[in-house]
Every structure is written in structure tokens, then in C-alpha cells.
Amino acid sequence: MRNEGLGSWPARRARKTPDAAALVHDGRTLTYADLLGRVSRLAHGLRALGVRRGDRVGHLGPNHPAFLETLFAAGMLGAVFVPLNTRLAAPEIAHQLADSGTSLLVHAPSHAGLVDGVRDRVPVREHVALDGPSRWAHGYGEVCDRAGEAGAAPLDVPVSLDDPCMIMYTSGTTGAAKGATLTHGNIAWNAINVLIDHDLVAGEVALVSAPLFHTAGLNMLTLPVLLKGGACVLVPAFDPAATLGLIAEHRVTFMFGVPTMFQRVAREPGWDGADLSSLRILTCGGAPVPPSLIETYQKRGLTFLQGYGMTEAAPGALFLDAAHAESKAGSAGVPHFFSDVRVVDPDMTDVPPGETGEVVVRGPHVMRGYWNRPDATAAAFTGGWFRSGDAARLDEDGYAYIVDRIKDVIISGGENVYPAEVEHAILADPDVLECAVIGVPDDMWGEAGRALFVPRPGSGLTGDAVLARLDGRLARYKIPKSAVPVAGLPRNAAGKILKARLREEHGGP
């Protein structure tokens, strides 16, 4: 094959295991032969609509086979895939479509109104609707059938591992999201890291409830499983109660989630009696994993494999294996097999074990740069190392402990307070469902901590009680000066708390 990239994966896998299950969705199973046929027909249809090598092809919608079919079809043509966050508002979607120069957009029925509303503000030439044609969009099925019998033959456009594969926009917890340009090689090397460090097998059954447009749900879970020849059970959205049933029904072996997802599952009424015997791999990332959550799953005989990464690294950088899950509890682990990670001072000097510095990453999985943002790209790299903006410390054995975002550190009376440490202590309280700690102005200390927490319904938990329960568990200077109950915490689609918004809404003195 002349195509070395992701667009060749369906054909390469279909020639090995054509009859194995690839995707399960809404009661239907697609084999790898089915997947190849659907991707080939779509690729021919997209080419008939004018999509060529280097063009950007977007997708906007919840988890669905069409997401992966569009990704692979774009790769088969040498085009660049642009996954769009379904939780963004119209102006944000318009920005990403315009910024990426997307020329064709596939969208789900749930987002037809949004797309219609931004059509006059974006460069998109062609629209494809999953629910059929409209006055301004081609129907997905119509596009797949457009090429007729020719659509059954896979296309083989020359694509190298150095060619761009997708533009994946960063979470955008602060400022406008930037498009990380990930090559086919970036994504392939990341998948290889997962295969090595997770010990994936061909019989893997992955539950994909994390959004596919997020780098972890796609690149740490779905694509490695498909590369290995396992099956992915796609559900449109995460539901904690449904998760327990899906695990038992499909004999799920592999799950990924952010800590909040796993917390919600464990707080379901059916948790204690749920059949979890098929589960083999639980990976958790996106935010530091509270020790209390680790303990909850260990009581059910389940061990978290924690990781740390970022969109710009496709995304895996650090990984904590099962053998050290207890002895190094709370750590993000050591670098993936084909990854290098350091913890450094601002001048890029390695900090001694136990001291806090910035995480920097290098490897074949790290992006080439931000789409059309040479200044931002130059600022993000020093000597070939990507600067994460995350604070961490290493222990004597080289295991990394992510402390917090550098910009979120609270400096109170000259002492550094890392919100994640305080949040872990608060989340150990069974009456607290979620929490976030921010810094607010303080006349005496310059800055003081404020905890925003979501109490368990019916608990009657007050802010004073939250603070009182921290006494003796944290140094006095780390305990927030105030705690405020809230109905919920704002999060982006990756599950990360939007602390900038919390500071805007709750950051007054």
C-alpha cells in the first residue's frame, strides 16, 4: 500500500480479521470487512464532492460509527480530519471551522440547527447530514452511494507518517482553542505506546462513552483497540447507570474515563451488586485521580491505570502500570515506552527529586505544531521539548506526581498551595460529589483559597463543615479560607473544570 497512515488501517485490519467485530452501536455490529466497505464508499463519495489531499474534513456529532468512518475516509484521501466538540456554542464552532479552513462538514441531526446558523460565517463548501439530504446538505447515505460500484474498491492515495492526519483543538480552558496538528505518525506512535503499556489483546472490548472528539477517548482508547483488532462499543453519551448495564451486557474489558465519570459510576445505587467481572483495564486521566477514588475501585477488585497527557502529545506522556498502582498511588507514572518526559525549572534545568517544576515532553507522538499559529508553536517548544504548563515533582524512583496547572497555583502568605492537593482531601468526604479550589484576593495573605463544592443531595453539608473536616488533615495554610456550596461546576468536553470561569463568578473578595 502507498498509504502508510490511518486511512489504510481498515484495509490492513480487514485483510487479517475481516469477520471480527469492529464497532457495536445501537444494537448493530460492524465487522472489519463491513467497516472497510463503508469507509471505501464514503471516501469515493467525498472525492466526488471535491475533497482532495490536504483538504480539511470536519465532523460534528456524538459518538457514532460515522465519526470513525469519516476519520478513516479522510485519511484514505490524504485529507485532514477535524473533530469538533459537540458542547461548544455556535461562535466557537464557527471559529474552529474558519480557523481550520474546513471545506466539508459531516454533522449529526442534533447539530443541524447550529450548523445552519453558522453557514454564512465559515468557508465550508459542502455539508453532509447523517439524517439525510436537506435544502443545503447532502445525505450521508447518498454520499456513500454516489460512486456506485467503484465505491467498493479502497482508494490508495500516497500518505506518509509525516503528513497531517487531524487538527484537534485544545480544550480551551483559557482563551481561544488552538488546533494541534497531529500527523499520522504522531497518532500511530501513541497507539503503539498504548499497545505496549496497556498490554492490549485482540479480544479487547472497549466501552467508548468518553467523547470521540476528545483526544483520550479517540487516541488512548478507540484507535489502539481498532489497531489491535478488538471491538468498540460506541454510546452517544456517558450515563453512569447505563454504564453498569453495558459492562455486563457486552462483557466490556477496557474503559477510559476522567475521574468524575468513575466517581459517578461508583455512586450509582447498583454499584455494589454490579457484575464487573469482565473488566480488565480501567484507565483514568484528564485530571489528577483522588486517592479516595482509587480506594473505592480497589474494594471491588479493580485497579486504575492512571495516565497523564495532553492533546499536543496525541496525548499519552506518562503511564502508571498495574504493578505499581498501589505502591505509587497518586502518581501519573513514568514515560510511555516511546516518550521522554522531564520536570524542569524555567531555564530547562532538571529539578531534583521532590521539588516542583514544569513537565516537558518529547517523542514521535508530539505534535508538529499549532495549525497556522507559528508564534504559539515557537512559544510552546524549547529545544525540541514541548512545555506543558503543568507542575509536577518526581520521586527518587523517577515516578511523576502531577501537582497542578502552574497558572492555578495559589500563593498565600508566600507559600505555594496546589489546589489539586486540597481538592483530593475534600473529595475524600462522601458528602462531596465535586469540588474545585481557586485563589481569591485576601488583604492579609495576598491570596487565599476558596473551595466550591457540590454537596450530596440530602446531606445538608455546609461550607463550615467542609473546612472543619480538613482540620488536622492539611497544613493550616493549605486549608481554604472559605467554602461555598454550588449546584454544579462548569466543565469542558474533556471533563476538565473551567477554573477561569469559576474565578470570574466566585473570585471576589
List Cβ neighbours of 396 (8 Å cut-off, separation of 6 or more): 353, 354
Q: What is the CA radius of gyration of the chain?
A: 23
Distance CA 452, CA 486 (A): 6
Average confidence (pLDDT) over 179-194: 98
CATH architecture of 185-405: 3-Layer(aba) Sandwich (3.40)
User: What is the model's pTM?
Assistant: 0.84
Ranges of each domain in the chain: 30-159, 185-405, 409-506
Q: For residue 441, which phi and psi values (nearest 5 degrees)?
A: -60, 145
* pLDDT given for residue 287 in this prediction: 66
255: cell is 474503559
Cell numbers 483522588 correspond to 290
First vs last Cα of the chain: how many Å apart?
63
| pLDDT for the residue numbered 171 | 60
Hey, which CATH number is domain 30-159, 1.20.1250.20, 3.40.50.980, 3.40.50.1370, 3.40.920.10? Answer: 3.40.50.980
Question: How far apart (Å, rounded) are the C-alpha atoms in residues 419 and 262?
Answer: 20
pLDDT value for 288: 62
Q: Looking at mean pLDDT, say which of 352-356, 400-404, 489-493 comes out highest.
A: 352-356
Under a CB-based contact definition with an 8 Å cutoff, are residues 37 and 85 in contact? no
What is the phi/psi pair of residue 139, to 5°? -80, 145
Decide: helix, strand or coil at residue 71.
helix
- The grid coordinates listed for 108 are 449529526
pLDDT digits (tens, 9 = 90+) for 241-271: 999 999 999 999 999 998 878 989 999 999 9
Please give the CATH superfamily to which domain 409-506 belongs: ANL, C-terminal domain (3.30.300.30)
Instruction: Give per-residue pLDDT as tens, 37-46.
Output: 999 999 999 9
Q: How confident is the model at residue 494 (pLDDT cuts 50, 70, 90)?
A: low
Instruction: Let me know if the fold of 30-159 is the same as that of 409-506.
Output: no
Of the candidates 249, 246, 331, 237, the one whose C-alpha atom is nearest the C-alpha of residue 284 is 331
